[in-house]
Amino acid sequence: MTLVDLLRVAGGARLSGDVTVVGAKNSALKLMAAALLAPGRTVLTNVPKITDIAIMAEVVRRLGCEVTLTSEDDISRATVEIDVPEVPRHEADYDLVRQLRASICVLGPLLARCGSVRVAHPGGDAIGSRGLDMHVAGLRRMGAEITSEHGFVIATAEKLHGATIWLDFPSVGATENLLMAAVLADGVTEIDNAAREPEIVDICDMLTAMGANIFGAGTSQIVVDGVDALRPVAHRTVGDRIVAGTWAFAAAMTRGDVHVHGVPAAHLEIALDKLVTSGASVAASEDGFRVRIDRRPSAVDIVTLPYPGFPTDLLPMAVGLAAVSEGNSLITENIFDGRFMFIQELTRLAAEIRTDGHHAVVRGRERLSGAPVTATDIRAGAGLVVAGLCADGTTDVGHVHHIDRGYPDFAADLVSLGADVRRIQAPDEPVFTM
């Protein structure tokens, strides 16, 4: 019999206290790929200690780099040192790519450095189909030849050249891949309708320190004037606004008082404004913000959109908040077609939710009702744990490995804020054979 990890959540906690958020997963992964652009030793600090970073470290190792991860003072964060050879290998295999879709972000930098690259096609995942068409179209405009063969995306380009690229949608991944290709291309590349997330600004800051010429980071038009070579640097990862937002919503849902450190309120403007509309008081502080509420939240309507809109990664928290608010909320998801998969699990906690396409109508209840549930992805997992805090009785959240991919020591942070959450081992589901 095999044992699997569960988070056992006792309902009824009111979260209160201070919590420190470390660097953003979705930045650190791309910064590790950006290191490939320069031979020598890159040092990344404030990197979260999560499974996805360990997988990315292995991706980069298999490309010929030496990678070391050292714990920092806060046990949730590490310093990652990547020593990149003069000529990296240029193939990323399916066994790693299928575990970490973000490994597709090595496509741009390896193509720019090596002139050819083979990356396993990542396929779909639990939150939606997640295409690569914009990555491919943009790199083709820069002179790459790209084919898809035997499960690999294969790209070649003797020398990439500058181009004007209009993205159909401000895709985070496509913007990053194109940026990392453009910094070493011949001439000027303009990316229009570019993504504007703080993680994009973070990678642009690092690339600029490496010697790249980038203008317009954080706006919809990024212009890159290519250079011949880049040098390795030391860089501190920007704080994780999604983890910070998770704590903000958890404070509001549990009628708590939480001071979040490590992420500026400005990176979560619309999300925090929604909490204010629901009745919370939100105050910016020197290194973060504080969220307080001493009554049941009121229903608010929420629509996810690319940054600076409400983040899709906080959709499970938005639905969770609506499930315990007073009144009816309309929650709309515009980024990923599979984001609502976790709603089936939330209804096991007696949440009253009806979905129609990408809309969810949520009728708030005073309390949810604890039950065993299963995490379907990183954010859904965190959302279910926090919903469990608002439920009568015990909620066991299974498939905890999803949460481990994005939240360093989630249970310990919850305990430090006053929750009763324990990681336990339970027998895996039995397998029946004929």
**What is d(CA 363, CA 349) in angstroms, rounded to the nearest whole number?**
13
**What is d(CA 257, CA 235) in angstroms, rounded to the nearest whole number?**
32
Which residue type, as a one-letter code, is found at position 229? A
**What is d(CA 320, CA 353) in angstroms, rounded to the nearest whole number?**
10
From residue 176, give the alpha-carbon distance in Å to each of 135, 171, 195, 325, 358: 9, 9, 9, 37, 27
Which CB, 56 or 368, lies closer to ligand EPU? 56
Contacts to ligand EPU from residues 306-345, by CB under 6 A: 312-313, 335-336
Stretch that binds ligand EPU, among 126-134, 151-159, 274-282, 419-427 (CB under 6 A): 126-134
Which CB, 174 or 185, lies closer to ligand EPU? 174
Find the shortest distance in angstroms from Cβ 414 to ligand EPU: 19
Find the shortest distance in angstroms from Cβ 29 to ligand EPU: 6
DSSP readout, 45-105? EEEE-SHHHHHHHHHHHHTT-EEEEEE-SSTTEEEEEEEE-SS---EE-HHHHTT-GGGGG
**What is d(CA 107, CA 206) in angstroms, rounded to the nearest whole number?**
18
Residue 251: how many CA atoms within 13 Å on its side-chain side?
A: 28
Whether the bond into 308 is cis, omega within 30 of 0: yes
Contacts to ligand EPU from residues 140-179, by CB under 6 A: 169, 171-174
Stretch that binds ligand EPU, among 12-20, 130-138, 250-258, 357-365 (CB under 6 A): 130-138
Residue found by looking up tokens 């804020």 in the block: 417
Q: Going residue by residue from 354 to 383, which x/- string records binding to ligand EPU, judged by CB under 6 A?
A: ------------------------xx----
Stretch that binds ligand EPU, among 6-14, 79-87, 128-136, 395-403 (CB under 6 A): 128-136
Residue 130 as a binder of ligand EPU (CB under 6 A): the answer is yes
Total chain residues near ligand EPU (CB under 6 A): 25
Which CB, 119 or 368, lies closer to ligand EPU? 119
Residue nearest to ligand EPU (CB): 173
Find the shortest distance in angstroms from Cβ 171 to ligand EPU: 3
Structure-token pair, residue 370: 């604890």
Task: Give the catalytic positions in this structure.
Answer: 125
Contacts to ligand EPU from residues 393-432, by CB under 6 A: 406
Stretch that binds ligand EPU, among 74-82, 133-141, 203-211, 294-302 (CB under 6 A): 133-141
Of positions 131, 401, 422, 428, contacts ligand EPU by CB under 6 A: 131
**What is d(CA 369, CA 348) in angstroms, rounded to the nearest whole number?**
8
Which residue type, as a one-letter code, is found at position 388? G
Contacts to ligand EPU from residues 38-67, by CB under 6 A: none
Residue 135 as a binder of ligand EPU (CB under 6 A): the answer is yes
Residue found by looking up tokens 């009121």 in the block: 298
Q: Which residues pair with 125 in a beta bridge?
A: 128
Residue 98 as a binder of ligand EPU (CB under 6 A): the answer is no
Which CB, 175 or 325, lies closer to ligand EPU? 175
Q: Which residues pair with 355 in a beta bridge?
A: 360
Q: Which residues bind ligand EPU (CB under 6 A)?
A: 25-26, 29, 102, 127-135, 169, 171-174, 312-313, 335-336, 378-379, 406
